[in-house]
Copies of this chain bind each other. A is one copy, B any other.
């Protein structure tokens, strides 16, 4: 199993490209073959295959070859992992502000807005 930090590196690297995000947008609607995935995109099939490799390495997409057709599917667990890291940090940030608000609320009205307490 990959270390969590390496997996986050790969997840965010995979998301850091508009073409790969467009491929994920397509796969969110349902599984697709590589050629179906490539069809609406303004890129060569070879570029699509390269992007698909990055998406697979990140765990965001799983592919399976049956006969001559490779079917691609999105992996919602990887999407959740990428969301969770950011969500936790946003939560920490908001709690820091809540604590600051609580602290201000404990000050008498005439103390608020002053640089230093008398």
A interface residues, Cβ below 8 angstroms from B: 5-6, 8-13, 15-18, 21, 24-25, 28-30, 74, 76, 79-80, 82-83, 85-87, 89-90, 92-94, 96
Contact = CB atoms under 8 A, between A and B. Distances in A.
B30 A96 contact: yes
A88 to B, nearest CB: 9
Give the copy number.
Answer: 2
Contact of A29 (B16, B79, B94, B96): B96
Given A28-B89, A86-B83, A90-B83, A16 B16 contact: yes
A74 to B, nearest CB: 7
Contact of A21 (B85, B92, B96): B85
Given A25-B89, A83-B86, A9 B13 contact: no
Given A28-B96, A29-B96, A76-B90, 15 more contacts: A5-B18, A9-B18, A12-B13, A12-B16, A21-B85, A28-B89, A28-B92, A28-B93, A29-B92, A79-B86, A79-B89, A79-B90, A83-B86, A83-B87, A86-B86
